[in-house]
Structure 1
């Protein structure tokens, strides 16, 4: 599936983008007098799925899939036995009302034509065997920026949920504001049209192109009511032969001389071309693009929701349009919005990915793991492939001219969301955050962020959603995701429950120059402190921090439970230091550091609690990074309830045993990679 996010706000996400009608713009499948029995929309008609991701939901979905597959097999058997000499203009079965003209013709499906549309080969319609359920389908989706990239996730869920009905599709162009239903042989009628017909489109259902919406309303030229481009069926090889690229470009340049700009983006250009070349279009039945707004004739396209194939929420009001079925559509949309996307993964349908060597290697690796190993779940977690949505919200960044810019990197889950506003107030520079959330939590986060003036005022914060899967919190995977999206020369590797001192961003940028970070391998250490008070008068200077240390309202970080983690920072020396000073690596050292963007990533084998930062600092030391403590920098850990993973670490002996095993394996790997230089890691007294 190809998703193209462009800068135009065609945003349709639509509301159903999701479940219900695979916006694949194609027609039913009707051969002669054979009637296609409409398949039920989805199990949602009976009972909306929950978002818990539990076994019951998966079982229900599997039962649904098997039932539809069996129904499709029966349908294919009947089609293969149907007579081929049926009249070419028999009534199109299964549809009603004002659709009679659009349904007056029918044709046979053609898998070869669909392949030709995708690769530009011969597109003559020849009867071919029914395609296999695992045939690859290419879908192109046009979306508009960060908002539409979120919306397209729901659309894709809709496509995947109904993919068992998509066999024999080839190329379809969609907008994010459309929604899907079941598709069966959508090319069957289109491929029989005259050879000049290369576009399959539904007539526009509003009065926009009639030019009478308001005084001096002047739309682009269109044929009658014009055509809506929310759903487009293309015969690519024929378009190329017609020199489509030159055709639309010349038309657009000519019209822009008088129109100056488009009102409806590409739709205006399509209609201007069609106005001059009406032979290009095969008009699709309107139920393949039911356009919902307050001023359309969409309800004339159907009598019941079971007639619908594609829902297009093309009104700026989206879910608030006037339609007798709007509540039904809204509920379907909201269901898929928070639907657990992990349930829609490939394995559920038994369709292997073609030429997917990474997938094959992954399956081979997993099969080699010993399921009887007490640490099997830990080892398996390292190879889990998580769904990831980069830049969930709008992001803007302008590179600094002096190449000293620094991005704060952190990761979090839903229970740390309250820290975001505080961090944004303490750090004015760019931030890259990886959030570990379920589909439902991602929507909660969206509402939280959009309701926050602090977060919405910041465009230089990149939010990257990693969707939940597995038993453990993949802390180092999350860090790596956030690190990979850093687009500044340097990054400050922090944690979400730390507040950096005011002005740390500018201080680190000055330190880049002072310590020649561009030409040396240094890790600049920011000393870490903590408070046990939920309300703290945050120190505005080092002097204030030292005063609070003396009064007992602040402490060096983890001094009472894990002294070794930060002891090499040498807090006693830091109290009086006025210049940066170098410290040596020691066992279990895990400071918070600023490094260059090209520094090593974190080791994914460490999940949950324990040794995740220790291993990374060891890697830096093995690569001969110098650890330099900054004399006027600090950060403070804010109190919070214990995480679920630290609770498991403290209460579960097997958890601690497995962590120790993983640590020893990591040290052995270090020895093999770095040779004699890594001997100290094997002999160090690492009692973690």
Structure 2
């Protein structure tokens, strides 16, 4: 073989090596890209799961801390709670209930818009102890302060206080955003010493395992459930300029706080628009499988597939129908939150809304089932409030509400409150003598 032949052969071998090395690099690049795609897909699935998860699948949101430090924090909070219960001296206007406002406050006051006259929206809600776990998802979805009144009594107090301590210690979103207020009957004052009975509370264990759940519904107790007293305490304890009164088993659409405050900023320059006398209506829905759509488009898709429907669609459609859901559905989807349209109040409409924190309080005579929310919305109407439906905002309730799924004394309680509502409407005529509006 001549010199030229050997040179040619060496050149071909080098070319072959370069070619094989190039193939190896290409395969390696494709493998890296494939791994990246797999990684991103996995992350998206995890994020979707987290965003659509209900309280039962919220364990990944729980803080995984040191058991000893958790116990020390729980014991510290327990001492604060028990000292306040022992020193309670504030009662409601009827003299029937003890009230402890801010029995536990958020860790980081100011971070989520808390503070006197802060330009933000506080979710205002109330609950019995057996629904407290709903705060996990609500606090994660809501980027603002939450004010919650918790009703308890001596037979329920240990469960209630332990639940508050566990949630406050183990969930950062609750610790940073939620203000707790405790209400209990004067003749049913808690007489428990939790300081010596807290060793089983640990953030390493899920809620249902570390605390024995109560099975009773709100109305299945001999003690009447004072909805409107609880609402008023949570409302008066809010420190922001606006409040959003909802039920604790509901979740608002994403970024509602930021988008709403931008709407307020734009509307402030409109001299013909009275922000302080407007109730901004947030259309409410029920979710069959407790998945929370991220935006209006996904909500409309879920509505089309019948996984979501308007709130009270089966149990009291007339109570929500004036929201004009079909009209809301047809509003053009924009990136900017705004008023879609205004509606007139009609009996027995009881929408969920955002309004000034100076909104009229709830009538505390209404207890148990029936007319407790509508009475306050009725007063807004008589007081001259306008009802403006927001175009993109919405609220989702956990599960479908169905007929026949109520407690036994529901009809009796509703009839009692119906009579009180008639009296209430007549009293509004005296309270607002110059108003041309009536309920």
Q: Is the shorter-chain TM-score for this pair beyond 0.5, marking a shared fold? A: yes
Structure-to-structure mapping, 1:83-162, within 5 angstroms: 149-153=80-84, 156=87
Structure-to-structure mapping, 1:325-344, within 5 angstroms: none
Distance of 2:245 and 2:86 partners within structure 1: 35
SS state of the match for residue 595, structure 1? strand
Matched, 1:647 2:364: no
Of 502, 508, 527 in structure 1, the residue corresponding to residue 260 of structure 2 is: 508
Aligned length: 312
Shift in alpha-carbon separation, 1:574–1:511, aligned structure 2, 3 A: same
Instruction: Provide the residue aligned with 1:427 in structure 2.
Output: 142
Shift in alpha-carbon separation, 1:646–1:608, aligned structure 2, 3 A: farther
Contact 1:609 1:646 in 2 (8 A): no
User: Which consecutive residues of structure 2, in runs of 5 or more, have no partner in the other structure?
Assistant: 1-75, 189-221, 333-337
Contact 2:114 2:145 in 1 (8 A): no
- Residues 414-464 of structure 1, C-alpha deviations (whole Å, 9 max, x = no match): 1212211010111020110001123323332234224523455x3231011
Distance of 2:223 and 2:114 partners within structure 1: 41
C-alpha deviation, 1:515, in angstroms: 3.1
Instruction: Provide the residue aligned with 1:317 in structure 2.
Output: none
Distance of 1:405 and 1:497 partners within structure 2: 22
Instruction: Provide the residue aligned with 2:310 in structure 1.
Output: 556
Matched, 1:441 2:163: no
Distance of 1:679 and 1:512 partners within structure 2: 26
Instruction: Provide the residue aligned with 1:624 in structure 2.
Output: 384
Instruction: Provide the residue aligned with 1:525 in structure 2.
Output: 281
Distance of 2:275 and 2:401 partners within structure 1: 42
Of 156, 168, 178 in structure 2, the residue corresponding to residue 461 of structure 1 is: 178
Matched, 1:542 2:296: yes
C-alpha deviation, 1:506, in angstroms: 1.4
Contact 1:408 1:430 in 2 (8 A): yes
C-alpha deviation, 1:672, in angstroms: 2.3
Distance of 1:419 and 1:519 partners within structure 2: 31
State the 4+ residue runs in structure 1 displaced beyond 6 angstroms. Answer: none
C-alpha deviation, 1:663, in angstroms: 1.2
Shift in alpha-carbon separation, 1:441–1:384, aligned structure 2, 3 A: farther
Distance of 2:276 and 2:235 partners within structure 1: 20
SS state of the match for residue 548, structure 1? helix
Shift in alpha-carbon separation, 1:400–1:609, aligned structure 2, 3 A: closer
Distance of 2:228 and 2:131 partners within structure 1: 17
Alignment TM-score, normalising by the size of structure 1: 0.42
C-alpha deviation, 1:576, in angstroms: 2.1
Instruction: Provide the residue aligned with 1:475 in structure 2.
Output: 227
Distance of 2:85 and 2:135 partners within structure 1: 26
SS state of the match for residue 619, structure 1? helix
Instruction: Provide the residue aligned with 1:390 in structure 2.
Output: 101
C-alpha deviation, 1:541, in angstroms: 1.1
Matched, 1:496 2:248: yes
Instruction: Provide the residue aligned with 2:205 in structure 1.
Output: none
- Residues 103-141 of structure 1, C-alpha deviations (whole Å, 9 max, x = no match): xxxxxxxxxxxxxxxxxxxxxxxxxxxxxxxxxxxxxxx
C-alpha deviation, 1:575, in angstroms: 1.1
SS state of the match for residue 587, structure 1? coil
Shift in alpha-carbon separation, 1:404–1:447, aligned structure 2, 3 A: closer
- Residues 179-202 of structure 1, C-alpha deviations (whole Å, 9 max, x = no match): xxxxxxxxxxxxxxxxxxxxxxxx
Shift in alpha-carbon separation, 1:556–1:462, aligned structure 2, 3 A: same
Distance of 2:258 and 2:178 partners within structure 1: 17
SS state of the match for residue 404, structure 1? strand
Shift in alpha-carbon separation, 1:503–1:495, aligned structure 2, 3 A: same
- Residues 364-397 of structure 1, C-alpha deviations (whole Å, 9 max, x = no match): xxxxxxxxxxxxxxxxxx8243112222223242
Structure-to-structure mapping, 1:13-52, within 5 angstroms: none
Shift in alpha-carbon separation, 1:678–1:465, aligned structure 2, 3 A: farther
- Residues 548-593 of structure 1, C-alpha deviations (whole Å, 9 max, x = no match): 1011100011112211111111111111224511111001111111
Distance of 1:519 and 1:497 partners within structure 2: 28
Of 671, 680, 683 in structure 1, the residue corresponding to residue 429 of structure 2 is: 671
Distance of 1:154 and 1:674 partners within structure 2: 39
Larger RCO, structure (CA 8 Å, separation 6 or more) = 2
Contact 1:146 1:392 in 2 (8 A): no
Distance of 2:86 and 2:243 partners within structure 1: 35
Shift in alpha-carbon separation, 1:406–1:605, aligned structure 2, 3 A: same
C-alpha deviation, 1:619, in angstroms: 0.7
Contact 2:382 2:437 in 1 (8 A): no
C-alpha deviation, 1:639, in angstroms: 2.4
Distance of 1:607 and 1:511 partners within structure 2: 35
Distance of 1:487 and 1:431 partners within structure 2: 10
Shift in alpha-carbon separation, 1:450–1:397, aligned structure 2, 3 A: closer
Contact 1:146 1:394 in 2 (8 A): no
SS state of the match for residue 358, structure 2? coil
SS state of the match for residue 582, structure 1? strand
- Residues 319-369 of structure 1, C-alpha deviations (whole Å, 9 max, x = no match): xxxxxxxxxxxxxxxxxxxxxxxxxx9xxxxxxxxxxxx99xx9xxxxxxx
Contact 2:84 2:103 in 1 (8 A): no
SS state of the match for residue 603, structure 1? coil
- Residues 624-663 of structure 1, C-alpha deviations (whole Å, 9 max, x = no match): 1110000000010102899xx951443x5x4333122111
Contact 1:585 1:621 in 2 (8 A): yes
Shift in alpha-carbon separation, 1:661–1:543, aligned structure 2, 3 A: same
| Structure ranking higher in helix proportion | 2
Structure with greater Cα Rg:
1
C-alpha deviation, 1:500, in angstroms: 0.8
Of 369, 372, 384 in structure 2, the residue corresponding to residue 609 of structure 1 is: 369
Distance of 2:130 and 2:275 partners within structure 1: 40
Shift in alpha-carbon separation, 1:431–1:620, aligned structure 2, 3 A: same
